[in-house]
Amino acid sequence: MTTETHLDARGLKCPLPVLRTGKVLRNMAPGTRLRVLADDPVAVVDIPHFCHEAGHALLNQREDEGHQVYVIERGPRP
C-alpha cells in the first residue's frame, strides 16, 4: 500500500500551485505519492510540464467538482 501526501493548492494562482508542488516533492522520498488539488486554470498545463521536466510521474489528472486533482509519484533524486 502506498501512502499519499496531500497538498491543497486551491485558491492559489500561477505560479504558486506548481512552486508549492515542487517544494513538497523535494522533501519526499522517491516512489512516494503526492495528491494535489488546484483550481488555477493554468495548473492544467504547469503541473504536467513540471512533472515531465523534473522527472516525476504524473499518474492521474482529472477534474473534480470545480478543481483539478493530480496524483504524482516522486521521481528519483538527482
| DSSP-assigned beta bridge partners for residue 71 | 35, 60
The one catalytic residue in 14, 54, 58, 59 is: 14
The whole-angstrom separation of Cα 77 and Cα 69 is 24
Give the position of cell 506548481. Answer: 18
14 among known catalytic residues: yes
Q: Which residues are identified as catalytic? A: 14
